[in-house]
Amino acid sequence: MKTPAILLLCILAVTPPLYSQDGEQPRKSANSRLLFPPLIAHHLEPRVGMSRLVEEERLRLDIGNSIDLLRWDDVFDGASVAVGADFFTWTSLRQEKDFHFPVDAVDYLFGLYASYRRPLGNASSVAARFRVSHISAHLVDGSYLKEEQRWRDDQLPRVYSREFIDLVLAYEYGDWLRAYGGGKYIYHIDPAELGQWSPQAGLEAAWIRAFDVPTLHGYVAADARMLDIDGWDTAVNVQAGVKFGAWRGTGVDLFVAYYHGMSQHGEYYDRMWSYWGPGFNIAF
């Protein structure tokens, strides 16, 4: 992305939460601070948390946030519209003895988005999110073997960068069910031989107020993506867990996830990863 776009994103990142055009504080549609709540099982979402990759002996650390900077309610026949900014990272940490977690690789994302939600009646609604984003990926010193003066597995750092647009359409029934589909088009990528299209679909279901406890919710979620890396492959992520706090609001998620597909980290884009493991997210 060009320098003016980067500067605009930086300005938006430090801008305090804004108000709708009538001067009133925007309503929290779908009981969330975001008009389009993050997809639970998709890896390109704002999170603050960590998960263990049991089969890989790694940890994944997520740090990031999305902010609805402007929101308009009751427009377009009762719909709501928001625009905002994304800034987050997902990091691969190696798990070693003596409670050491050297940083292996890190991916960065920043961008802008627009989201839309419209009630359909009978507790159902439709929603959409459109994003324009940049991702870059980097190997870090935790992947370098200092005593041998070489990179682990002879994996040299390589340039990985992409700019893309991303559209997701969702159908929601109440707060407990969401089905979605969409995909991304990568209009600039390095290395250039990688595919530009990536279709996506997913499903989320929740047991709101489990056992009649207002702050306890169970959930399951699945996400599947098609990736064009020397031919088409599928990346699948399945997650099951419980949330303590407000569903679609502040709280803590405890979960177990299973992933199978090409690595979620750009430096390892051509490596197959298959693992399961526990994790947590802090929602705010």
Residue 192's SS3 state is coil
Helix (H/G/I), strand (E/B), else coil: 211: helix
* Tokens standing for residue 51: 């998960």
Question: Average of pLDDT values for 249-271?
Answer: 94
Task: Band the pLDDT of 154: cuts 50, 70, 90.
Answer: confident
**φ, ψ for residue 72 (rounded to 5)?**
-120, 125
Domain 3-283 listed as CATH 2.40.230.10: yes
Return left, alpha or beta for 193; rule: phi > 0 is left, psi -120 to 50 is alpha, else beta. Answer: alpha
Helices within the chain (DSSP H only) = 3-13
- Distance, in Å, from the CA atom of 132 to the CA atom of 186, rounded to the nearest integer, reads 10
pLDDT in tens, 52-78: 999 788 999 999 999 999 999 989 888
The predicted model gives 250-267 an average pLDDT of: 95
* Tens-place pLDDT, residues 268-282: 999 999 999 999 999
Residue 38: phi, psi to the nearest 5? -55, 145
Return mean pLDDT, the chain: 87
pLDDT digits (tens, 9 = 90+) for 219-228: 999 999 999 9
194-244 pLDDT, tens digit each? 899 999 999 999 999 999 999 999 999 999 999 998 889 999 999 999 999
Q: Report the alpha-carbon distance of residue 30 to residue 115 in Å, rounded.
A: 13
pLDDT of residue 180: 98
What's the pLDDT at 22? 41
Segment 24-44 mean pLDDT: 74
The domain limits of the chain are 3-283
- Lowest model confidence (mean pLDDT) among 8-17, 115-124, 263-272: 8-17
Note the pLDDT of residue 31.
57
